Amino acid sequence: MRPNKIFIIALLIVSISTAMAQNRVTAYSYLMPMPASLQYKEGGLKVTSAFAVGIKGHNDERLRAAVDRMLNRLEMRTTLATSRKPPADAASAALVIECGGPGKTIPALDEDESYSLDVSGSQAVLKAATVVGAMRGLETFLQLLDGSKDGFVIQAVSIQDKPRFPWRGLMIDIARRWQPMEVIKRNLDGMAAVKLNVLHLHITDDQGFRIESKLYPKLHQMGSDGNYYTQAQMKEIIEYARMRGIRVYPEFDTPGHTTSWFVGHPELASKVGPYEIERGWGVYQPVMDPSNEAVYQLLDGFFGEMAALFPDPYLHIGGDEVEGKDWDANQNLQNFIIQKGLKDKEGLHAYYNQRLLKIVQKHGKKMIGWDEIFHPNLPKDIVIHSWRGPKSLAEAAKKGFTGILSNGYYIDLMQPTSEHYLNDPVPENTTLNEAEQKLILGGEATIWAEWTSPETIDSRIWPRTAAIAERFWSPRNVRDVADMYQRLPVISVQLEDLGLLHKKNPEAMLRRWIGTPFGGADFIVDRLRTLISLVEPVKGYRRGSMQKATQFTPMTRMVDIAQADSAAARQFASEVETIIKADSLKNGVAASLKGVIAEWVSIPSTIIGIDIQKPNIIAEALPLAGDLIQTGMIAQEAIAWLEAQKTPSAEWVTEQLSRLDEAAKPKAAVELMIVKPVRELVIAAADQSRRASMSADEWLKYVKTKAAPQKTPR
């Protein structure tokens, strides 16, 4: 491309961006989560180097630190050096914060997080009863920042806001794969930006014991490979979170998922040891011995130690996936079941939980656990953490138990954002009455670490978790998927201001994956970037059946670079829908799409034809490259039939659908996401004689239904 063409395109991009920014200032703001009540007003508050913040009412270290963080990000986006000195008259500042009081010293479930924000052309006023409420309002204020031809402005609005649910969390699994402190801190910053308020740390599992115990040092010394948090480091994380209005509570999974406990203390197990840390994934059989009083003595000491470390009132005991095979094989335990009248191993598990509950309560904590801990004899103030789903959660609520939902928010399963977004802890069709609905406290997104490394974790959490945060914060009727997808990329870029690496790391991994130096490296990076933008990791637990891994397997393959919810594939699918609904393809209706497809078709040959220095790594991309060229060519032919308004032969249709079925099959644990819309193009071409008898929406529905494959390719 000649320099003058580059210059013209650059000018065009700038003019388009400016026009969009001008429009947003008066018509649309990219807020996430959306406030409970939002009214747009004309104009906005100009942000200049004279911008200053005044605080009226309560003023403390947490609030001043939150203001400083906001100003840092404001300056980063505007390049302005603002006035950090508070004005003598706080009421004269560009942003006035009126804070009623400190709120809870330690973030709590009943924290008042509400705020109001009024922005005019002359001033912004943020009012909150507590410091945490002011923090939430500052995040909204920063999201209102936009650019125009006249400089930077804060959109004029009137906002009254409060969260829908008090429990809005993110669970990070640090047990299966170690996640160092910098990972936790930057993700706490991301959580604060989207108004999440609970960090749940999954600290122990079969693969690792990740916290220092001064009473029982063998637990972390022998169960962690040296990767654990000292108590001083954990205090630092808790304080870092407190400064951002976020609770931190631990999970110590028992009586199952406990192999790492038994490496140092085999006497706690139901089966004679010795034990080693598990390196793979799955449900393992080692389990605590509920008949052994030494188990409860150690748990009493350890939980007392942890209760003093973690100030949050809740302590998660896990309690999930106890198959009990080691219990079945232990004759002493079978006799114990009979002696205690426990009937079976489920009764034994309930006995263990009740003993554990007394220990948790003794140390001033409330117990939380996965669905399996539910038992009618447990007190109503325990929290049921549901991985099974809303139905299970509702059943517990009807019996008077509080609960939170994680089913549908397992972000490690690589589902599209829309699926998480439409999942609701209390759906519109709930059978719960008003009092029972209040027992559903909210939910948590969960990032399990089987396929997650410190390098990839950010890209697995963000930006999808921002949409989940909106589900937890905003009113139930905020559920427009198209609108969410319009706002999400903007929030994703803003999250980079906080040091999150969800966009940066995949790019670095891509360059490393290809291998340099060799001629045309950047050229190949561009081509493979396009290919990877059109694939997604396989969903659910399918990767485990396609690729074997342990704790030590590097997460550096193509599937680790690929992201959930391909924006490029969604855009392609949207344009295909436009073509299908059109009365005809005259006047260049399909021109843009044809240009994109032509670029795709040219990609594989350039990849295959390069002498790549790491063929053992890059080779897994080649079958997908072949699928892409095949799928692109089918799309070109289908569009040609539609443009000519001619119907292809039945043989052609059958052959193309068969080829698309093959292209849809996962390779290298990723899926080519453009196959489904290309199937729709083929069906539209084959059945276009029916088009005249249907409305555009009816025709699109017909095509989508007929194009849907009968079986999910495996």
3-state SS track over 124-170: EEEEECCHHHHHHHHHHHHHCEEEECCEEEEEEEEEEECCCCCEEEE
Q: Which amino acid, one-letter code, is at 269?
A: A
Measured distance CA(437)–CA(427) in Å, rounded = 10
Own/partner long-range contacts of 329-334 (Cβ < 8 Å, ≥24 apart): 329/271, 330/270, 330/271, 330/289, 332/291, 333/270, 333/289, 333/290, 333/291
Burial bucket for residue 108 (CB in 10 Å: 0-12, 13-18, 19+): middle
Half-sphere exposure of 9 (CA within 13 A, CB side): 6
Which candidate, 156, 103, 99, places its Cα nearest to that of 127?
A: 99
Judged by DSSP in three states, 376 sits in coil
Task: For 52, list phi and psi in degrees, rounded to 5.
Answer: -140, 160
Cα 174–Cα 179–Cα 180 angle in degrees, nearest 5: 130
Beta bridge partners of 384: 369, 403
Buried b (16+ CB within 10 A) or exposed e, 329-348: ebeebbebbeeeebeebeeb
Q: Which amino acid, one-letter code, is at 260?
A: S
| Cβ atoms of 394 and 426 closer than 8 Å | no
Q: Tokens 């489920």 label which residue? A: 346
| Cβ atoms of 286 and 206 closer than 8 Å | yes
Measured distance CA(473)–CA(386) in Å, rounded = 19
Instruction: Using the Cα atoms of residue 284, residue 536, residue 174 and residue 383 in order, give the sign of their dihedral.
Output: negative
Measured distance CA(405)–CA(613) in Å, rounded = 47
Measured CA to CA in angstroms, residue 54 lies from 85, 504, 538 at distances of: 9, 35, 50
Measured distance CA(437)–CA(581) in Å, rounded = 42
Task: Please say if 276 is a catalytic residue.
Answer: no
DSSP string, 657-677: HHHHHHHHS-BTTEEETTHHH
For the chain, report the end-to-end CA distance as a whole number of angstroms: 42
Measured distance CA(436)–CA(428) in Å, rounded = 14
Measured CA to CA in angstroms, residue 282 lies from 79, 264, 632 at distances of: 50, 21, 39
**Active-site option among 236, 321, 455, 655:** 321
What does the block give as tokens for 398?
């009807």
Measured CA to CA in angstroms, residue 538 lies from 559, 564, 677 at distances of: 8, 9, 18
Instruction: Using the Cα atoms of residue 533, residue 144, residue 501 and residue 17 in order, give the sign of their dihedral.
Output: positive
Beta bridge partners of 242: none
Measured distance CA(117)–CA(137) in Å, rounded = 7
What does the block give as tokens for 585?
């393809």
Q: Which residues have a catalytic role annotated? A: 321
